[in-house]
Chain A
Amino acid sequence: MFELGPALHHAFELLRGFAVSHGMSRDAALLLSKIIQANILVLGVAVIPMVLVYAERKVSAFMQARLGPMHVGPWGILQTFADGVKLMLKEDVVPAGADKWVHFLAPVVAVAPVFVCFAPVPFGQGLTPVDLDTGVLFIFAVSGVSTIGILLGGWGSGNKFSMLGGLRAAAQLLSYEIPRVLSVIPVLMWYGSMSLGTIALAQHGRWLGILPKWFIFYPVIGQIAFLIFLISSVAETNRTPFDIPEAESELVAGFHTEFSGLKFALFFLAEYAYVFLASAMGTALFLGGGDGFLLPNGILPSWIWFLLKTFALVFLFLWFRWTYPRLRIDRLMQFCWKFLMPWSFVNIALTGLLVLVRQR
């Protein structure tokens, strides 16, 4: 019904026409509309973590027989907004022994990649900000940069323990990036393209009328790929049961303990934005993007379906955090190198076989 994609497209056409008619060159108008689109995306990515923080506090509350934030706004909806304002007003403490520039740069390098990563994500029909041909690879590449932010955070805090904490967190991110990339390769092999838009589109349609042709329902390879992707995404976003930075703060200070005020808010925003990014990628790659099920097509627009499925995956992330204790650091590394990686290789081989069979 009210698909947002074409409507927005049409709006920008009108805008460009209006600008050109008022003496603006075609290029300038095009650039202007691109800038406006980018701003909408950045605003969206800045708002989503606030929704996620609220969701996390409410979900954890109900899991623990309590109510969660209730005072600020009806059912505590404005609580995260209030937290944001509080963090902005907090004094930004830079430790004496710290390296001022690196302390300033760390949150920037940790947060900036997140905004860029959302470009190729297909929010719905026609709602892909930039349908890059190498979408998946682009996201993995740019999200790798934020690991450097964590290292800078560890170094910029000036104390030996937070540096150790930063190193351990970076080691975890590096090692879990590999199974995450490997787990997505079967999807790319099967659909022959790296653009998230085309992959999501290719998953529309039904098997025998009822089972949607999502990659997760492909016999063995779908489930293995999805599970490895989910597990390594939880590890990539430093969330329980892989939250080494928090565990480190028990013994060795975590890398972001020396940051306060807005800088801490940026690290916080990065974590939740990555959770949303991982869920969005999971939806696009494994759950068929904007493709609805059960209800006949067209009742709900595709971007609503996309958001529903993404929030379902986000709920999984939240659920893990409040039920599982923390893995010890060496078990965590062992799990990655000795369990996730071999299985992702097996999965790639299996998919290769299936692709061969399909070509016959």
Chain B
Amino acid sequence: MSQTTTPASAADVFPQAPPEKGMFISLGPQHPSTHGVLRVAITVDGETVTSAQPDIGYLHRATEKLAEKRTYPQIIVLTDRLDYLAAMTNNWSYCLAVEKMLAVPIPERAEYLRIIVGELQRIASHCVFLGTYGIDIGAYTPFLVAFGRERERILDLFEELCGARLTYNYIRIGGVMADTPAGWEKKVREFVKEMWGHIQEYDTLLTYNPIFMDRTQNIGLMTPEMAVAWGITGPNLRATGFRADVRKDDPYSLYPQLKFDIPVGKQGDCWERYQVRVSEMRESLKMIEQCLDRIQPGEWMAKLPKVYRVPAGEGYGHLEAPRGDLGFYIISDGSPSPYRMHIRAPSFINLQVLQQLLKGWKVADVVAILGSVDIVLGEVDR
């Protein structure tokens, strides 16, 4: 259902080596608005940016090399630390890949729990984006409200469920770690009911705030061709008007049975990248409500031997993480640990578009554009 993309013209899409002249500004790696350890080398001609070279690798922990030395269940702990703002979806994506190779059936309750927890994680991750992006543009209150109040509620729910606030390790190969404690679903339902009002609050506080719109509309424009050519996925891609979501295009778990739609922008500017994420929160709330209505008590973990071997071969499992299409390509040689594991990190691929996206905009817009792409360095550097 997504429209075809015309072949991108070479000029506006493909990377060229950076020019030498112009004043040089190094943004980062210690910097208030680069969301972590990222350095962007910007050459400036007067007020406009002539070239931008993100410099990464400060948080590289060689996760892919480590995975070759660990058994399959042990790797789940590694995936928590990739996109440290959305550990649930990291675990889930890795487990999807392994389950696809093991071809083990997942009990229905586990699938519903995974969707509830995954969508809660999406809301929490977007809350972080909302807060930090407000600060980038200069509004301090949304951070305290979105990051402080809402996300804390979600983290409390997760803590009650699996004992951790950030590195959950809750979704396991074959199902989930444990069943929900008594009354947990009721608390989630209460949170969801309240959250509808809070999202309305964000609209009045920031989304339709005239100065915020003035700072973000028609800035950092991205065409669908440019986005697809650069391999961009997630809210950044949908903001350009290109309807692409792994939950619909390559459905997994029980998403086909849920009714939700994909919010899409029109011209892919900073405001729409922000706006798409806020409306995505509403869709997640819808999904959680539907799951809460359908979930039945029952089995929450598939029957798996203590130490199991993944048959030799290869497999690619991926899902729609808050920041885009997060996938795990695993090659196994039949031993308890994978021969090779490659992580398709959406932030890593989304970040490279900055070389193209920042060109031609004013210095004052660099912070707005960089913030709107919403990258997490743990996932970029792996």
Q: Are A and B direct contacts in the complex by CB distance below 8 Å?
A: yes
With a cutoff of 8 Å between Cβ atoms, the chain A residues found around residue B148 in the complex are: 64-66
| Complex partner residue of B211 from A63, A246, A250, A326, CB under 8 angstroms | A326
Chain A, 276-303, CB within 8 A of any chain B CB: none
**Least Cβ–Cβ distance between A245 and chain B, in angstroms:** 12
**Least Cβ–Cβ distance between A321 and chain B, in angstroms:** 8
The answer to whether the Cβ of B103 comes within 8 Å of any Cβ in the partner chain is no
The answer to whether the Cβ of A30 comes within 8 Å of any Cβ in the partner chain is no
Nearest CB in chain B to that of A246: its residue = B138
Nearest CB in chain A to that of B139: its residue = A325
The answer to whether the Cβ of B5 comes within 8 Å of any Cβ in the partner chain is no
Most interface-central of B134, B136, B138 (chain A CB within 10 A): B138
The answer to whether the Cβ of A328 comes within 8 Å of any Cβ in the partner chain is yes
Q: Is the CB of B362 within 8 A of A328?
A: yes
With a cutoff of 8 Å between Cβ atoms, the chain A residues found around residue B134 in the complex are: 325
**Least Cβ–Cβ distance between B86 and chain A, in angstroms:** 24
The answer to whether the Cβ of A76 comes within 8 Å of any Cβ in the partner chain is no
Q: Given A324-B209, A328-B215: A251 and B140 within 8 A (CB)?
A: no
Chain A, 318-360, CB within 8 A of any chain B CB: 322-331
Complexed CA–CA distance, A249 and B136 (Å): 12
Complexed CA–CA distance, A243 and B140 (Å): 13
The answer to whether the Cβ of A80 comes within 8 Å of any Cβ in the partner chain is no
Chain B, 351-382, CB within 8 A of any chain A CB: 362-367
Q: Is the CB of B205 within 8 A of A65?
A: no
| Complex partner residue of B140 from A64, A328, A330, CB under 8 angstroms | A64
The answer to whether the Cβ of B149 comes within 8 Å of any Cβ in the partner chain is yes
Complexed CA–CA distance, A65 and B134 (Å): 16
Nearest CB in chain A to that of B25: its residue = A251
**Least Cβ–Cβ distance between A335 and chain B, in angstroms:** 10
**Least Cβ–Cβ distance between A318 and chain B, in angstroms:** 12
The answer to whether the Cβ of A247 comes within 8 Å of any Cβ in the partner chain is yes
The answer to whether the Cβ of B144 comes within 8 Å of any Cβ in the partner chain is yes
With a cutoff of 8 Å between Cβ atoms, the chain B residues found around residue A252 in the complex are: 25, 363
Complexed CA–CA distance, A331 and B219 (Å): 14
Most interface-central of A241, A246, A322, A325 (chain B CB within 10 A): A325
With a cutoff of 8 Å between Cβ atoms, the chain B residues found around residue A330 in the complex are: 47, 362, 364
With a cutoff of 8 Å between Cβ atoms, the chain A residues found around residue B27 in the complex are: 251
With a cutoff of 8 Å between Cβ atoms, the chain A residues found around residue B211 in the complex are: 241, 324-327
Q: Is the CB of B145 within 8 A of A325?
A: no
With a cutoff of 8 Å between Cβ atoms, the chain B residues found around residue A310 in the complex are: none
| Complex partner residue of A250 from B139, B145, B214, B367, CB under 8 angstroms | B367
The answer to whether the Cβ of A240 comes within 8 Å of any Cβ in the partner chain is yes
Chain A, 153-173, CB within 8 A of any chain B CB: none
Q: Is the CB of B144 within 8 A of A325?
A: no
Nearest CB in chain A to that of B143: its residue = A64
Complexed CA–CA distance, A241 and B209 (Å): 12
Q: Is the CB of B33 within 8 A of A250?
A: yes
**Least Cβ–Cβ distance between B371 and chain A, in angstroms:** 10
Complexed CA–CA distance, A252 and B363 (Å): 10
Nearest CB in chain B to that of A251: its residue = B363
With a cutoff of 8 Å between Cβ atoms, the chain A residues found around residue B363 in the complex are: 251-252
The answer to whether the Cβ of B348 comes within 8 Å of any Cβ in the partner chain is no
Q: Given A322-B140, A322-B141: A251 and B364 within 8 A (CB)?
A: yes
Nearest CB in chain A to that of B32: its residue = A250
Q: Is the CB of B25 within 8 A of A325?
A: no
The answer to whether the Cβ of B106 comes within 8 Å of any Cβ in the partner chain is no
Q: Is the CB of B138 within 8 A of A326?
A: yes
Q: Is the CB of A328 within 8 A of B364?
A: yes
Q: Given A66-B144, A251-B25: A325 and B364 within 8 A (CB)?
A: no
Q: Is the CB of B214 within 8 A of A327?
A: yes
With a cutoff of 8 Å between Cβ atoms, the chain A residues found around residue B141 in the complex are: 60, 63-64, 322-323
**Least Cβ–Cβ distance between B7 and chain A, in angstroms:** 35
Chain B, 27-50, CB within 8 A of any chain A CB: 27, 31-33, 47
Complexed CA–CA distance, A139 and B113 (Å): 66
Q: Is the CB of A251 within 8 A of B367?
A: yes
Q: Is the CB of A325 within 8 A of B366?
A: no
Complexed CA–CA distance, A59 and B137 (Å): 21
Complexed CA–CA distance, A87 and B17 (Å): 48
With a cutoff of 8 Å between Cβ atoms, the chain B residues found around residue A247 in the complex are: 138, 364
Q: Given A64-B144, A331-B214: A325 and B367 within 8 A (CB)?
A: no
**Least Cβ–Cβ distance between A354 and chain B, in angstroms:** 31
Q: Given A66-B144, A331-B214: A323 and B364 within 8 A (CB)?
A: no
Nearest CB in chain B to that of A61: its residue = B144
Mask for A243-278, Cβ within 8 A of B = 1, else 0? 100110111100000000000000000000000000
**Least Cβ–Cβ distance between B38 and chain A, in angstroms:** 14
With a cutoff of 8 Å between Cβ atoms, the chain A residues found around residue B366 in the complex are: 251
**Least Cβ–Cβ distance between A336 and chain B, in angstroms:** 15
**Least Cβ–Cβ distance between A60 and chain B, in angstroms:** 7
Nearest CB in chain B to that of A244: its residue = B364
Nearest CB in chain A to that of B363: its residue = A251
Q: Is the CB of B149 within 8 A of A241?
A: no
**Least Cβ–Cβ distance between A6 and chain B, in angstroms:** 45
* Partner-A contacts on B (CB < 8 A): 25, 27, 31-33, 47, 134, 136-141, 144-145, 148-149, 205-206, 209, 211-212, 214-215, 362-367
A-B contact sample (8 more), CB < 8 A, given A325-B138, A330-B362, A331-B214: A63-B141, A64-B141, A64-B145, A250-B32, A251-B367, A325-B134, A328-B365, A330-B47
A-B contact pairs, 15 of them (CB 8 A): A60-B141, A64-B141, A64-B144, A65-B148, A250-B136, A250-B367, A251-B27, A251-B363, A322-B140, A326-B139, A326-B211, A326-B215, A328-B214, A328-B364, A330-B362
